[in-house]
Amino acid sequence: MPRRKQFIKVSDAVFMLAAAGVLAGIFIAGYFFLFSLLTGRVVDWVTFFVLFSALTLLNIFLLVQFWKRRFRFGIGWHAFMLLWGPLAIWYWLFAPIYYFFTVNLDGARIALLGFIYLWEVPIVGGIFIALALARFHRIRKFQETGETKNPESLYKLTFQYPKFVGVTLFLISVIGYTVGTVQLNTFGELPTLEQAKSVANGVVVAIFLALFYSLVFDRFLEPIRLALEKRYDLSMKQEGRLTLRIFMVTLLVVLGSVGLFGLLIVESWQMIERENILREMRDDALQVTKSLVVQLEQNSMLSGDDIVQQLETLRQGERGEILILEPGQPLPEYFSPQTQQLIAQQPFGVVEDFRKSHKIMLFTDGIVPGKIVVSVAYMKDFYGIFQETFQFLAIGALFVTVLCVSVITFMSFAISERARRLARLVHRAESGDTKSLRPIPSGDEFDALSRSFIRFATREKELQSHLEKEKIQYEGIVKDIGEGLVVTDNKGGVVTMNPAAASLIGYEEKEVMGKKWASDIPRVLGEQGNVLLRKKRRQLLSRASYRDPVYYERKNYRISKRVPRHYEGKRD
């Protein structure tokens, strides 16, 4: 087997192995998370990210293998991989990482979150890819056939398609996160604040991915636009597009960044408040324990009411609870099974419970002999403290956003104005006005580019004037020369012919312009006749030079004879 064919087969096998690895990774990880849900197994964040990191590496490997074989695939496959690759990497690695930093989940809900990501990316993401490829069909068809019934509409589509992909991705992503949040609430009873953060998380991360898709596909479709412009002589009004593009890109980045930091601020506040509550719980528990020990030393008998009164000091918040449990006694139903299992196994500890509401719990069996005391604090009771701070932060974020929008507007107009000035330089040079060209003294790339263009345009104008003068002189010499002269290009096509040559062969100049001199213009060589010498033409012209009589068949089929003083032969 030839080495090249063997290499292609091995290469195809590696590519198919990469695709199979991605599918296998999806099924294996999905089975793991589903099994954990069905059996009640707790999944930690380390296991979660190990699985999704492996899945991301498989997708990156698939993209690398596709890139190596990109010339063997059509534009439709290129679009598909461009849609699938960033989607999988973003929502199986970067989005979960940000979810980890902004949303509070316990082990059971981590398993549910992993299962949601695994089925939503192929299914909901598949819907997005199907919609994008359906809109891409006309572009793919033109790329494959080179023809289209409505070139103007297709040309506009190449500018509209990147926006369509970005907007569609944003909407589908928000819908996917909303559906995922509903699942977390239905099967995991996620607290209200965590539900709001989950949806906001989807909005924020979708902004950046939608912006990425819009910019990438705008660049991806540039060759298609150039092909349409060249084939159908199309163009689109360009004024204002740069300004709008700079404004929208920067605005979306600002809004996305404000959203990212806003969610991180909320999560940071929750962490600080949680630590404060736990510290107070520990301090109160220590004081109650010491107080009970002292009272027991002073009075060996304490009534149940005295003990309960002492334990009431452990209550945190308006809805805080103090539960006194017998060993083996279950917690109320609004606590998760994982929390009940932990309290039953350990003598003391701290746990967060997210079933129906976010709860902080401190439990110990060292305060009341033979009893388990559980202090429960509801985080919702402390959200009121954050409301004023949140309002202040919201006003500050709004002010920052308005300030950024103002700066963005000024910056976009400033940059686009220099681009417009550069465009005006080009238009003046195209019209032949090189004397009024002035550089753009901005001290940046526009300055260097404008000066380089002015130098180029000026030299081009001088060269054009010089060539026009030489052309006039050349045409005068060619017309006045006594011998026939035919000028051909490097492919043998006739470029020009003087009147003497036209008189010699009986053709007018316009009749032979662009035709092949060696084949389209009837000609014979030597003195032995037309048919015989046509067969020897290539042999005679293959010589570097020769001196032979040359016979040309005129337009009226008469033979005219011309003996050149010297003829430089050349292959047809």
Q: Is residue 205 part of a domain?
A: yes
Average pLDDT rounded to a whole number, residues 326-331: 84
Q: Are residues 251 and 176 in the same domain?
A: no
Report CA-CA distances (Å) from 358 to 267, 308, 355: 13, 25, 7
Q: Using 50, 70 and 90 to split pLDDT, how confident is the model at 497?
A: confident
Least confident of 47-56, 152-161, 344-353, 516-525: 516-525
Residue recorded with tokens 């572009």: 139
Percent of the chain at pLDDT above 90? 28
Domains in the chain: how many in total? Answer: 3
Q: Are residues 299 and 390 in the same domain?
A: yes
CA dist., res. 488 & res. 361, Å (int): 94
Q: Are residues 224 and 252 in the same domain?
A: no
Q: Using 50, 70 and 90 to split pLDDT, how confident is the model at 295?
A: low
pLDDT of 571 > 50? The answer is: no
SS in 3 state form for 23-67?
HHHHHHHHHHHHHHHHHCCCCCHHHHHHHHHHHHHHHHHHHHHHH
Q: Are residues 200 and 293 in the same domain?
A: no
Q: Are residues 122 and 170 in the same domain?
A: yes
Please report the pLDDT score of residue 534 as a whole number.
45
Under a CB-based contact definition with an 8 Å cutoff, are residues 408 and 251 in contact?
Answer: yes
Neighbours of 524 (CB within 10 A): 19
List, in order, residues 6 or more apart from 500 with CB less than 8 Å away: 481, 482, 483, 484, 485
Q: Is residue 477 part of a domain?
A: no
Q: Using 50, 70 and 90 to split pLDDT, how confident is the model at 565?
A: very low
pLDDT of 217 > 50? The answer is: yes
Q: Is residue 79 part of a domain?
A: yes
The domain boundary residue, chosen from 389, 410, 431: 410
CA dist., res. 118 & res. 55, Å (int): 10
pLDDT 10s digits, 76-102: 999 999 999 999 999 999 999 999 999
Please report the pLDDT score of residue 548 as a whole number.
53
The edge-to-edge listing of strands for the beta sheet with 372-378 is 321-325, 372-378, 359-364, 348-353
The domain boundary residue, chosen from 202, 221, 236: 236
pLDDT of 541 > 60? The answer is: no
| C-alpha closest to that of 273 among 193, 381, 124 | 381
- Per-range mean pLDDT, top range of 246-255, 391-400, 478-487: 246-255
Find the CATH number of the domain harbouring 524: 3.30.450.20
pLDDT of 10 > 60? The answer is: no
Q: What is the DSSP annotation of 299-310? A: -S---HHHHHHH
Please report the pLDDT score of residue 172 as a whole number.
95
Please report the pLDDT score of residue 489 as a whole number.
80
pLDDT 10s digits, 103-133: 988 888 899 999 999 999 999 999 999 999 9
Please report the pLDDT score of residue 567 as a whole number.
40
Q: Which residue has the higher pLDDT, 3 or 151?
A: 151
Q: Are residues 149 and 34 in the same domain?
A: yes
Average pLDDT rounded to a whole number, residues 381-397: 74
Q: Is residue 443 part of a domain?
A: no
Q: Are residues 14 and 159 in the same domain?
A: yes
pLDDT of 449 > 80? The answer is: yes
Residue recorded with tokens 């930091």: 261
3-state secondary structure of 351: strand
Q: Is residue 456 part of a domain?
A: no
pLDDT of 147 > 50? The answer is: yes
Find the CATH number of the domain harbouring 271: 3.30.450
Q: Are residues 394 and 538 in the same domain?
A: no
Q: Are residues 221 and 247 in the same domain?
A: no
**Cα four-point dihedral sign 395, 398, 404, 406:** negative
Q: Is residue 432 part of a domain?
A: no
Q: Is residue 425 part of a domain?
A: no
Q: What is the DSSP annotation of 375-412? A: EEEEGGGGHHHHHHHHHHHHHHHHHHHHHHHHHHHHHH
| C-alpha closest to that of 196 among 107, 112, 123, 267 | 267
H/E element holding 257? helix 241-298
Q: Are residues 74 and 219 in the same domain?
A: yes
Under a CB-based contact definition with an 8 Å cutoff, are residues 133 and 80 in contact?
Answer: yes
The domain boundary residue, chosen from 236, 264, 284: 236
**Cα four-point dihedral sign 539, 541, 542, 547:** positive
pLDDT of 205 > 80? The answer is: yes
CA 354 from centre of chain: 35
Q: Are residues 171 and 84 in the same domain?
A: yes
Please report the pLDDT score of residue 123 as a whole number.
94
Average pLDDT rounded to a whole number, residues 352-356: 85
Please report the pLDDT score of residue 558 as a whole number.
47
Q: Which residue has the higher pLDDT, 18 or 560?
A: 18
Average pLDDT rounded to a whole number, residues 53-64: 94
pLDDT of 289 > 90? The answer is: no
Please report the pLDDT score of residue 566 as a whole number.
40
pLDDT of 327 > 90? The answer is: no
Q: Is residue 171 part of a domain?
A: yes
- Provide the residue range defining the domain that includes 553: 483-568
List, in order, residues 6 or more apart from 153 with CB less than 8 Å away: none
- pTM, two decimals, is 0.74
Q: Are residues 356 and 396 in the same domain?
A: yes
